[in-house]
Structure 1
Amino acid sequence: MRYRRFGKTNRHISLFSLGTMRFLALESGAQATMRRAIALGINHLETAQGYGESEVFLGRALKQGLGLPRSDLFLTTKLIPTPDAATMATAINRSLERLGVDYVDGLALHGVNTEEHLRWIEAPDGCMQAVRAAIADGRIRHVGFSTHGSLNLILRAIATDQFAFVNLHYYYFFQRHQPAIELAQEKDMGVFIISPADKGGLLYTPPEKLRRQCHPFEPLPLTYRFLLSDPRITTLSTGPANPDELDSICPVMDRDEPLSEAEQHALGNLLEQQQEELGIERCSQCYACLPCPESINIPEVLRLRNLAIAHDMVDYGRYRYGMFERAGHWFPGRRGDRCTDCGDCLPRCPENLDIPTLLRDTQERLGGHPRRRLWE
């Protein structure tokens, strides 16, 4: 396992971080999974108050010992932003109690997704007042934020200069947040990539067409390499439910060198496949079509269509598409079948896409049964 400096925290953490969301309600196997992660060299353990009993399970494991001194671990938990300091202070104390620790190395505001959340952060008497108090008395060492918000919102949150790290969605198949990575580097912030195997394309179980297109590499390690070859990125999350699911990181956990010519060629082939198979119907993700009067998340709908057609990533498309209108600000926007043919987006599209037709087509391809979110 290799390690990178986690921005201005000045701590060096493993290229992969252990996320505990899938521990949820099952403690059996959780400790074995944590022990294997530590044995592989992972020193960043990440949980959240909203992940069922995972804080409790992690706390018990810490008490029993994981084979690494507490001082060598970087322990992060996440708390949702609150409008007032008192609510946040209570939440901080609750997490410390559940974890059975005197301090956490990292506290991330969990889901800075909306304008309202940003106002709470910037308010003098908002949630950050309690966070600063906890930093002052040593209960929190460093503070960051996770986000499912728009690029503009993310950039503004980074620009507040209140954070040492950021948890981002950024993958080979979703590079919209590249400017956020650039700004985070300018601010000397650690960059933590959220769920690259799952949210990045359900790459644990890739379709055969995608596997052929990535040859001679497998899709998951190839896209891991895309991320790990970027020195601005500190760590990638992995969220196993059992020790065996950590096997997927083993071939790449010490591979943070620049991409080889063969890897570059394979990744370039994926873009060529999109251009070839989609032709004039390929959405290049410029986001000029927004805002939509019906609040349809047009770029994301069409991104999922791109992937379904070009790479047969239909299961992934249905998984993500099924979250529209069900996950609130965690996955904003409405489905493609909400289009009223108003035509508002058409003159703004530089590629002259027939957006209403493509939205309806995506609904037909991907609008099956919605998938339940893991913690519901």
Structure 2
Amino acid sequence: MSPARRPFGDGPPVSAFTLGTMRALESPAQMEAVLRAALGAGINHLETAPAYGPAEPFLGQALRHLQREGLEPEGGWLITSKILPGCDLPSGQEQLRASLRRLGVPRLHGLAVHGLNTPEHLAWVQHGPGGELLRWALDNTLVSQVGFTSHGSPGLIAEALATGRFRFCALHVHLFDQTCLPVARSALERGIGVLAISPADKGGRLYDPPPELLADCAPFHPLELAYRFLLEQGISTLSLGAAMPADLVWAERWDGGALASDGSNRAALEEALERLRQAAAERLGGERCGQCHACLPCPSGVPIPALLRLRNLAVGHGMVGYAEERYNLIGRAGHWWETRNAAACNTCGACLPRCPHELAIPALLADTHRRLAAAPRRRLWG
């Protein structure tokens, strides 16, 4: 049976799971073991970046070893790498050439702007050297299609997609953070590929779920429920950052048909999602933030919905570890994440009359800070 493949922009179809290479960095042997497991799991799409330390040279070495054995997916490996925004044209050209040398390939399936997170990044593409770089890469057949990754707002992402320059995007669209789901659906309707960034880890550390979440998602494992939800939404491919072959078990189950959808398990999925919503509603009671964003803009620049979403997860599903991790990145990750936490609220009350649920937002923000503020943790990269 041929592996399942899904449309991805203008390029060849990709596997439902994409191997992210940001974790198998201890040695070339580790990368090779993970790549062999990815091949066995039916994966044909690989995602890497110069910013991931030795990922590109390790991956290039692993690809050469498997090639000597005649091991590759049907149609070959599809490789996406990235380039950070802000460079001038000559340095961008050299960065792309260097990626190709490290990977040992003549061209990339996809080249993504790595972190199109701010209006300045978008201007770099629309009116600056970024646009020249992307055109040069396409015109010289060094890449098959161009896209972007983004940690930015849905509005910024929509602006980027509206330029018509991009044929795929990588977004934080997750079961437990559906903020970008509408813009992802819009992209898919226009034939633009959508990769979900790290639904296992950034989507909630679902590989290590708390007891409450395990119970809330039953009969599914939280990871399975999250993966099923995203694939049912039509998301093109889900990134899976594997550090060892065993991390690819869910990709194996998908390729083997264990996660395939039909009418009966679609109904079971909807029932589980409804139980999940009800469980959170019961624990949160009248303090549940509905994520409508009506409270914005905050005069102090507090990202109220993003912070109360973390409180929803901590209180509603017991996801305290994940919520703490994300909360304590605030202000420490530059344009990759929020810059102000709940302590920036000055209790001006401007948000109160806007909230359709009549939440005591300043008090909930203070409670969020008490619950989640802790010693910061190191980011995976950067």
TM-score (norm 1): 0.95
Kindly indicate whether the alpha-carbon contact (under 8 Å) linking 2:214 and 2:221 is maintained by their aligned counterparts in 1. Answer: yes
Q: CA deviation at 1:25?
A: 4.6
Kindly indicate whether the alpha-carbon contact (under 8 Å) linking 2:194 and 2:236 is maintained by their aligned counterparts in 1. Answer: yes
What's the counterpart of residue 161 of structure 1? 164
Q: Which moved more, 1:256-265 or 1:71-80?
A: 256-265
* Residue among 95, 108, 112 paired with 1:108: 112
What's the counterpart of residue 196 of structure 2? 193
Kindly indicate whether the alpha-carbon contact (under 8 Å) linking 2:176 and 2:203 is maintained by their aligned counterparts in 1. Answer: yes
- Alpha-carbon distance between aligned partners in 2 of 1:70 and 1:113, rounded to the nearest angstrom: 35
Local SS of the residue matching 1:249: helix
Q: CA deviation at 1:86?
A: 2.4
What's the counterpart of residue 359 of structure 1? 365
- Alpha-carbon distance between aligned partners in 2 of 1:76 and 1:170, rounded to the nearest angstrom: 19
Q: Which runs of 5+ in 2 are unaligned?
A: none
1:57 is the counterpart of 2:61: no
Kindly indicate whether the alpha-carbon contact (under 8 Å) linking 1:89 and 1:131 is maintained by their aligned counterparts in 2. Answer: no
1:93 is the counterpart of 2:97: yes
Q: CA deviation at 1:211?
A: 0.6
Q: Which moved more, 1:292-301 or 1:164-173?
A: 292-301
1:1-376 residue pairs with structure 2 within 5 A?
1-9=3-11, 11-66=12-67, 67-68=71-72, 71-123=75-127, 125-231=128-234, 233-253=235-255, 254=257, 255-257=259-261, 259-376=265-382
- Alpha-carbon distance between aligned partners in 2 of 1:182 and 1:266, rounded to the nearest angstrom: 22
Q: CA deviation at 1:167?
A: 0.4
Kindly indicate whether the alpha-carbon contact (under 8 Å) linking 1:168 and 1:194 is maintained by their aligned counterparts in 2. Answer: yes
Q: CA deviation at 1:292?
A: 2.1
- Alpha-carbon distance between aligned partners in 2 of 1:301 and 1:275, rounded to the nearest angstrom: 17
Kindly indicate whether the alpha-carbon contact (under 8 Å) linking 1:23 and 1:53 is maintained by their aligned counterparts in 2. Answer: no
Q: Deviations over 1:212-234 (max 9, x none)?
A: 11111111111111111223x11
Local SS of the residue matching 1:286: coil
The residue type paired with residue 273 of structure 1 is A
Kindly indicate whether the alpha-carbon contact (under 8 Å) linking 2:287 and 2:359 is maintained by their aligned counterparts in 1. Answer: yes
Q: CA deviation at 1:185?
A: 1.9
The residue type paired with residue 235 of structure 1 is T
Local SS of the residue matching 1:260: helix
Q: CA deviation at 1:69?
A: 6.3
- Alpha-carbon distance between aligned partners in 1 of 2:282 and 2:276, rounded to the nearest angstrom: 10
Q: Do the aligned partners of residues 111 and 70 (structure 1) sit closer, same or farther apart at CA in structure 2, a change above 3 Å counting?
A: farther
Kindly indicate whether the alpha-carbon contact (under 8 Å) linking 2:25 and 2:54 is maintained by their aligned counterparts in 1. Answer: yes
Q: CA deviation at 1:174?
A: 0.8
Q: CA deviation at 1:179?
A: 1.8
Q: CA deviation at 1:48?
A: 0.5
Local SS of the residue matching 2:35: helix
Kindly indicate whether the alpha-carbon contact (under 8 Å) linking 1:104 and 1:139 is maintained by their aligned counterparts in 2. Answer: yes
The residue type paired with residue 165 of structure 2 is Q
Local SS of the residue matching 1:13: strand
Kindly indicate whether the alpha-carbon contact (under 8 Å) linking 1:25 and 1:54 is maintained by their aligned counterparts in 2. Answer: no
Q: Deviations over 1:71-102 (max 9, x none)?
A: 52111101111253223212211211221221
Q: CA deviation at 1:39?
A: 1.4
- Alpha-carbon distance between aligned partners in 1 of 2:183 and 2:246, rounded to the nearest angstrom: 33
Q: Deviations over 1:240-275 (max 9, x none)?
A: 101111123333344342552222111111111122
Local SS of the residue matching 1:156: helix
